[in-house]
Each structure stands twice: as C-alpha cells, then as structure tokens.
A and B are shown apart, each in its own frame.
Chain A
Amino acid sequence: MSQTITIDPVTRLEGHGKITIQLNDKGEVEDAHFHVTQVRGFERFSEGRPFYEMPSLMARICGICPVSHLIASAKACEAIMSVRIPHTAAQLRRMLNLAQMVQSHALSFFYLASPDLLLGMEADVKVRNILGVAAAKPELGRAGVGLRRFGQSIIELLGDKRVHPGWVVPGGVTEPLSSEKRDKILAMIPEAYANTGVALGAYKQIADTFKQEIEVFANFPSNYLSLINEDESIEFTDGALRLVDEGGKIIEDGMTAARFPEVIGEAVEPYSYTKFAYYKPLGYPDGSYRVGPLARLNIVKTMGTAKAEKELAEFKGLAAGLVTSSFHYHHARLVEILYGIEKIEEILSDPRILDKHVRATAGVNRLEGTGQAEAPRGVLHHHYKVDEDGKMTWANLVIATGQNNKAMNLGVLQAAKHYVKDGKFTEGMLNRVEAVVRTFDPCLSCSSHAAGQMPLLLELVASDGDVVDRVVRD
C-alpha cells in the first residue's frame, strides 16, 4: 500500500513549510514536495497606497531581509520618478544591504545550519539546536552572535532600528552619515574579521565529512541568476543581472530591472503558495534557475576585495566547472560574509561617504517602475504601476525563494530517494531531507507575499484512498 511521509513543520527555516514524500507500493520514493503553507498579502494591499510609501510598507514583508525590500522598492519608485540618486546615497544603501547580508548569513549558518553541520545530522534532536551548538562549540557560538550583532548594529546605526529600519526612501536616504557613526562601524570591523575566520576555519574542517550529503543535496546542473558588475565582480545593490546555463555559458547579460518581467515568468504548482520563477525563452520547468550565494559565486569572476578573492578561488576549486551541490551554499555564505565586511570597510574609507547630498526629489514622471537588488537569498525584483496621482494600481514581487523553488523541490526529491529506502527511514534521514531545504535558506514569509487569487488544490478523498473529486484553481 502506498504511503505518504509528512515532515510538518520543517524546522530551522524562515517561515512555515512542510515536506511530503510519496512512497509507492514497494516502499520506494515516487515523488516529494516542499510546500509553502502560509499566505500573506502584500501585493494586493499595497494597491491604492501612495507609491512613496512602498519602501517602508514592503520592508514589513520580512524581519530578516527588510533592507533588500527597502532597496528594491525604492529603486522601483525611482524608476517612476525618473531620478538618479546621488553617489553617496548609493554607497550608503550598498553598505546597509551588505550589513543585512552579513547578519542574515550569520543567522543562517550559525543558528539554522550549524546544528546539523557541527553536531551531526544524526545528533539527538534535543541538542540539535543553537543551544546545543553553543554548549559544544562555544567559540562558534560567540562568532555567530558577534557577526549577527555586527550586521544588526550597522543597520541600527544607519536606519535607527535593527529590524524594519527606515532611512532608505525613494530618491536616496533620509540623512547623511555622521563621522561618529562611521567611526563606530569601523571600530567593529576587526572583531568581525576574526569571527569570520573562526567560522571559515571550522567549516573547512568539517566539510569533508559530508561527502554523501554534498553528493545528494540538490546536486544537479541548473541555470543560475545573479547581479554582477561590469567588471564581473560581485554586486548586491546595483549592477545588472546575468543568467548562465548549466555549463556557465551566458544566456542573458546586462539584464536591467525593466527587462526582468519580459524574460522571467512565474509558474504555479498546486502544492505551494510560493510561485516558481523561470526564464521564459526556455519555458517552465526547463527555464528554472537557482539564485543566492551559490549562484552569485558561480557567476562572478572576481569578488573585488582581497580576502574574499582568495576564498572565491578556493570555492571555485570545489568543482571542475560550476559548483552544483546546494550543500555548498553554506560555504558560499561564509565567503560572502567576508566580502561584506571588506566592502563595508572600503566604503567607509572613502571620505565622500560623509557627503551631505544624499537624496534626489521628483514626482511621478512614469506610470510604471521596476527595481532589483540581491537579497541574502538571491535576486529580489519589485514591479509597480501607478496612476497619474502616484497611487499604486498594481504590484508584483518576484522573491528569491520563488526563484529557488523548483531547485528546492528537486533537491528534496533527490535526497528523499537517496535516504528513504524500502519504506524505512530514521529521524536522521528525514532531517537530511529537511537540511536540503535549509541549504537554500528560504524565506517563506517573503515568498508567499501574494494576495487575492492563490493557487489551490482541493481533493475529496474516499476512505479507500480514491480521489473522487478535485478542484484546481491557478
């Protein structure tokens, strides 16, 4: 008799999701899905609001990456205003976005992933959490707390609040950086480097013990999408998008936010409230792609900073071509943390960062605008339409987790097929299936932002298991 294994909720994620694994009569895994089960409503309830409210409204989507939403939203608004923001404002936003990336990656690595990585996938579930890690590896606990506080403190210094900061507005930022704040941030940097060194050292020591997981944790060829600068260095805030295929060949380059909706579509599957982004010319699902740290490090040719450059070379040495195992998202996050600290230091070393001109002003000059940035989890795209008075008439957000959705589902299936045999499984096996999802560090509150018509599958199942009625809304 066929059987379904349900892991609900999937733990140590941002948000609420579940995994189902379908077994056939022989106890073999036939299919598996990662379901995002929560519904939110940001696109719909933004309608009717003045467009300039959008950054602060959109930042409420997420408590982990509000800065990315602030920035993508402000850029969409600036497209409506047809303004170019001052250089210093762009650099301040870049620093804020990097600070967020550091704290978010620290949370993902130390709080969410490290219980599996440092204590083991089979460790007693009662100790497989941040408290267990702290007890077993206090130096890593300190490093994790230190890096998260580093990022959050910068966000608080710049935006007044650690979570849901303001400051970023259409046209730039509300106030310039003071020399006192600059010096406070610079003073935190040596400790941040030291903490990153502890994390990288610890990770490299244990990575080789996860050979099997590396082999089956969403390890397959795919397309990749990320922002990149003209000099082919990594970029989180500006630049343009590059899409490469599974061999690293460039499919799309210089993709602006305005072009994004022309080439990126969103498919709907009945089992998830999160959509599935794909590259339209290749169709769905062939046009699916991965975003985030793995994609960024696969796509860029250089980090553009000395310390991270060495780490990038080591990272790229993990495979002959592109690095395809999602397990390596963890490693990529640590490399990006190092880059973030270096880049923040570099930005603050430029005297122009204290310039007082940090905001451009304008009204409605276009009725449509798009903006994009790299969230810690990957590309984030905002697309708005307004009326002549600047009131929002329509919004669409394409979130990193939606862009990784197909790969996450394929990864869950790949791991389930490997670890669940003859209908038998242990807690440690199922934890590995969950851990595949954790490698992507999905943010489910971000990804289920849509309101109104939601994909829905309703099944009426008879006592013998037969589906007697089925309603699909997409």
Chain B
Amino acid sequence: MDTIARCLVLACGNTLRSDDGVGPKLAEWAAERFQKNEDVRVVARQQWTPDLAKDIADADSVLFVDSSLNSIPGRVSLAAVASNRGNGDAATHHLEAHELLGLTRSIYGSIADHAMLLTVGVGSTELGETFSEPVEAALPRARGVLEKAVLRFIQN
C-alpha cells in the first residue's frame, strides 16, 4: 500500500539470478535495520516500472539499489542520479534510475531532493540463489554504504 516516507530505498533485482539478487538482499537488510524508523520506506522489485514514479514523488530522497554489469565484480559504488529521459530506448517493463526520476518529474512536477544510486558489480547472473564470492564478500561494505547514505538523507 502507498505510504509516505522521507527516504525511499528502492531496490531492483531477480533473486533467482545469482548476483542480480543483491539489490533485494540489501533491501531486506535495510528493511530490518530501519524497521522502527518511519522516515524510511524500503521497496524491492524485480524490475523498476513506471508506476514507481508515485513512490518517488512522495519521498524527499531516494536511494536506488541495483547490481551492475558494467562494474568489477564486488565493487560497491555510490553515485548521484540526475533525472533525464534516457536515450530513447526506454522499455515499458523496466526503467533505469535516471529514467524513473525523469518520469517522476514529468508527471508529478517534482522529484526527490536527493537521489543516489548504490550498485554492486556482479560476477554471475546465472540461475541460482547464491552470490558469487566477490559479491558475498562485498555485502558488509555495501550495507555500510547503504546505511550511511540513508542516515545522511534523513538527517538533512
């Protein structure tokens, strides 16, 4: 159901495709870590779809959490996300973080004050419910980065 929170943690990934499930795994941890904090809302989806624009519009800040195929396996990265409409090949069933922000701005007229994307480089996206060694080893660092980012957002 729709709820409003200052910080939205929005994760994406398929838990049946090995390292691609790192986003939902981190979301699971975040939901427990911030369970008692009403300023934080955690949503995990297999794909980021256009209807999530409303969740983003309702938040002051958003932390996207995803795996990255374009990164060294296990590398944890945190970067600001700027809204734009992408390169014209937007898929209906899946949008990138910047496209979701762009969509939110288009239809709701405003976007979150702060938007960051936390990624973990993947080693494997084969069928499976376990992570590769580099991603497994990167989880503590990824949790730390996620925690710091969320705390910074809600303290602003």
A residues bordering B, Cβ < 8 Å?
12, 107, 111-112, 124-127, 129-132, 134-135, 138, 141-142, 144-146, 148-149, 152-153, 156-157, 163, 184
Distance (Å) between the CB of A342 and the closest chain B CB? 22
Chain B 87-136 residues near chain A, CB threshold 8 A:
87-90, 92, 95, 99, 102-103, 106-109
Bound together, the chains give a CA A112 to CA B90 distance in angstroms of 12
Given contacts A135-B106, A141-B107, 8 further A-B contacts (CB under 8 A): A126-B89, A131-B90, A131-B95, A131-B103, A134-B106, A144-B50, A145-B107, A163-B46
Decide if B1 touches A156 in the complex (CB within 8 Å).
yes
Indicate if B32 sits at the interface (CB-CB under 8 A).
no
The answer to whether B1 and A131 touch across the interface, beta carbons within 8 angstroms, is no
* A148–B51 CB distance below 8 A: yes
What does DSSP make chain B's interface, helix, strand, loop or mixed?
loop
Residues of B within 8 A of A107 (CB): 92
**Among B50, B89, B99, B102: residue with most chain A CB under 10 A:** B50
> Size class of B's contact patch?
20 to 34
Q: Of residues A111, A131, A135, which shows the largest number of chain B Cβ atoms within 10 Å of its Cβ?
A: A131
Q: Are A157 and B1 in contact (CB under 8 A)?
A: yes
Chain B residues within CB distance 8 Å of chain A? 1-2, 46, 50-51, 53-54, 85-90, 92, 95, 99, 102-103, 106-109
User: Quick one: which of B51, B54, B99 contacts A131, CB cutoff 8 A?
Assistant: B99
**A residues near B99, Cβ cutoff 8 Å:** 131
CB-CB < 8 A to A144: which residues of B?
Answer: 50
A112 to B102, CA, bound (A): 18
Residue of A107, A126, A129, A138 with most chain B CB atoms under a 10 A cut-off = A129
A130 contacts B88, CB within 8 Å? Answer: no
| Cα distance A259–B134 in the bound complex, in angstroms | 57
Among the listed A12, A145, A157, A163, which residue makes an inter-chain contact with B50, where contact means beta carbons less than 8 Å apart?
Answer: A145
Contacts of B86 in A (CB 8 A): 131
Residues of B within 8 A of A124 (CB): 88
Count of inter-chain pairs, beta carbons less than 8 A: 63
- The answer for the CA separation of A126 and B87 in the assembled complex, in Å, is 7
Chain A residues, CB < 8 A from B103 = 130-131, 134, 141
Q: How far is the CA of A328 from the CA of B1 in the complex (A)?
A: 33
Which residue of A145, A153, A157 contacts B53 across the interface (Cβ within 8 Å)? A145
Q: Which residues of B contact A112 (CB under 8 A)?
A: 92
Find chain A residues with CB under 8 A from B106 CB.
131, 134-135, 138, 141
Q: Provided the pairs A111-B50, A142-B108, A149-B51 are in contact, do residues A130 and B1 lie with their beta carbons within 8 angstroms?
A: no
Shortest C-beta distance, B42 to chain A (Å), equals 15
A129-B92, A130-B92 known; A145-B87 Cβ under 8 A: no
Q: Which of B2, B87, B107 has the most chain A CB atoms inside 10 A of its CB?
A: B107
Which of A131, A141, A153 makes the CB contact (< 8 A) with B2?
A153
| A135 to B108 alpha-carbon distance, docked (Å) | 10
Chain A residues closer than 8 Å to B85, beta-carbon distance: 131-132, 135
Q: In the complex, A127→B53 CA distance in Å?
A: 18
Collect the chain A residues with CB atoms within 8 Å of residue B51's CB: 145, 148-149, 152
B107 touches A142 (CB 8 A): yes
CB distance from B155 to the nearest CB of A (A): 30
Q: Return the 4 tightest CB-CB contacts between A and B, nearest first.
A: A126-B88, A141-B107, A134-B106, A129-B90
With a 10 A CB-CB cut-off, give which of B51, B53, B99 has the most chain A CB atoms: B51
Interface centre among B92, B95, B109 (most CB of A within 10 A): B92
Closest-CB distance, A15 to chain B (whole angstroms): 10
Residues A111 and B107 in contact in the complex (CB < 8 Å), given A149-B51, A156-B1, A184-B1: no
B92 touches which of A111, A141, A146, A184 (Cβ 8 Å): A111
What separation, in Å, do the CA atoms of A191 and B85 have in the docked complex? 27
A sample of 25 cross-chain residue pairs with beta-carbon separation below 8 angstroms, ordered by A number, consists of A111-B50, A112-B92, A126-B88, A126-B89, A127-B88, A130-B92, A131-B85, A131-B95, A131-B102, A131-B103, A131-B106, A134-B50, A138-B106, A138-B107, A141-B53, A141-B103, A141-B107, A142-B108, A144-B50, A145-B51, A145-B54, A148-B50, A148-B51, A149-B51, A163-B46
